[in-house]
Amino acid sequence: MTFEIKEGNKIGLINQNIVDTALFTDEHDGALLETVRLSESFFDQLKRHPVPLQESAIRAISNNSQALDIYFWLVCRLHERVTVQKVSWPALKVQFGASYTHMRNFKIRFRDALQIALAIYPEARVGIDEDGVTLSPSASPVSRRLPKKMR
């Protein structure tokens, strides 16, 4: 994954490896993930900045990888957002649609997958228009309170 950082008139990029290694088992119905080792820097980031994902939401869209990617992206970007941000179609295509040759085709697929992601994250305040997507501060998809048995 590549992250863009802006500070004043400076723009930078961070390349983040998520997985160092993965082991798959070859089964009759297809390969199954047996073990995965997250990169140390990604794991450290997760410990320092946990992302509030809703397990039931992940299960509900687990058969749609693009909707799952968009759901994760929205949760990461929205739950701590304090200002409105516009993300252009070209920037979205770089992140979510590098395999699409034509922007027109990417927009159609992205809009469909976004609607699925928004259905399971109704708190997300997202606008979509001809220029791209507008992200607004939104409530987390999960409660910040710990269950009674963990208090």
Q: Quick check: 3 and 13 in contact, CB under 8 A?
A: yes
Average pLDDT, whole number, for the chain?
A: 83
Q: What is the pLDDT of residue 81?
A: 80
Residues 6 or more apart whose Cβ sits within 8 Å of residue 79:
51, 52, 138, 139, 140, 141
Query: What's this model's pTM, rounded to 2 decimal places?
Result: 0.69
Asked whether the predicted pLDDT for residue 8 surpasses 70, the reply is yes
Per-residue pLDDT of 24-78, as tens digits, reads 777 666 666 677 788 888 788 778 777 777 788 888 888 888 999 999 899 888 8
